[in-house]
């Protein structure tokens, strides 16, 4: 799936940076076979109900709650600004994407998202609205997309990754795992 990007979204330089991280993982000899031990519920079909999803999402919220404080997220390594504020007039927004580079290793762990999503609130006060799990194309050799929480990751050609958004901190009327969130806006972006 190709993710359309508006002028406030990622620049080619930032996209190249994410690709460089993915290539770097491959060059370091990271495993190229599917990291089944870390991509939980891999046997579940995309969209199939997950019986214990509520507690799993509660655990994800708990593990990311300290990142409501943007400075805490930065201090914990979420310093790679992957995109500008992403918004699509028809589908909604995603906000800013901040990655923790060392986590982009091809292994997904439920309580450890690679990317945090922030919506601008004006005056430099971003609001945590969700997370994104990503696996570089180079780190996934499976014939089927990786899955987490019973959801298949989406193919993102722009960044050369498999991606799964989880709207943990902002309700999304289209679903907790939908890429775009109509409730997220870049209107208060003053960056």
Decide if 24 is inside a domain: yes
- Closest to 6 measured CA to CA, from 93, 98, 74: 93
CB atoms within 10 A of CB 69: 12
Q: Which range marks the domain in which residue 122 is found?
A: 12-166
H-assigned helices in 65-168? 70-75
Domain count, the chain: 1
Q: What is the DSSP letter of 138?
A: G
For 21, 94, 135, 147, 151, the CA distances from 144, given in Å and listed in that order, are 23, 25, 13, 9, 12
Angle at 113 between CA 107 and CA 115, to 5 degrees: 110
H-assigned helices in 103-180? none
Decide if 178 is inside a domain: no
Residues 154 and 2: their CA atoms lie apart, in Å, by 9
pLDDT, residue 123, reads: 80
Decide if 80 is inside a domain: yes
Decide if 44 is inside a domain: yes
Decide if 1 is inside a domain: no
Q: Which residue has the tokens 């995603």?
A: 94
Q: Which two tokens stand for residue 163?
A: 């991606």
Decide if 19 is inside a domain: yes
Give the strands of the sheet with 161-166, arranged side by side.
Answer: 80-88, 92-99, 115-119, 127-136, 161-166, 154-156
Q: What is the DSSP letter of 106?
A: S
pLDDT, residue 50, reads: 66
Decide if 2 is inside a domain: no
Query: What is the residue-level pLDDT of the chain in tens, covering all 191 positions?
Result: 223 333 333 333 333 344 334 333 333 343 333 332 233 333 333 445 567 789 999 999 999 999 999 999 999 999 999 999 999 999 999 999 999 999 998 889 999 999 999 999 988 789 999 999 999 999 999 999 999 999 999 999 999 999 999 999 999 999 999 999 999 999 987 64
């Amino acid at each position: 799936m190709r993710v359309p990007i508006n002028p406030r979204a990622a620049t080619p330089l930032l996209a190249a940076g994410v690709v460089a991280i993915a290539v770097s993982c491959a060059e370091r000899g990271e495993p190229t076979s599917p990291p089944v031990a870390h991509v939980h519920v891999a046997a579940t079909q995309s969209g199939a109900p997950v019986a214990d999803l509520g507690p799993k999402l509660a655990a994800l919220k708990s593990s990311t709650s300290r990142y409501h404080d943007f400075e805490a997220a930065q201090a914990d390594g979420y310093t790679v600004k992957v995109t500008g504020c992403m918004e699509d007039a028809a589908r909604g927004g995603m906000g800013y994407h901040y990655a923790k580079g060392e986590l982009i290793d091809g292994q997904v762990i439920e309580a450890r998202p690679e990317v945090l999503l922030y919506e601008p609130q004006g005056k430099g006060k971003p609001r945590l609205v969700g997370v994104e799990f990503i696996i570089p194309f180079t780190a996934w050799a499976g014939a089927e997309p990786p899955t987490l929480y019973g959801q298949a990751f989406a193919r993102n050609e722009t960044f050369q990754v498999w991606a799964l958004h989880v709207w943990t901190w902002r309700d999304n009327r289209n679903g907790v795992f939908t890429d775009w969130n109509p409730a997220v806006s870049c209107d208060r972006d003053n960056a």
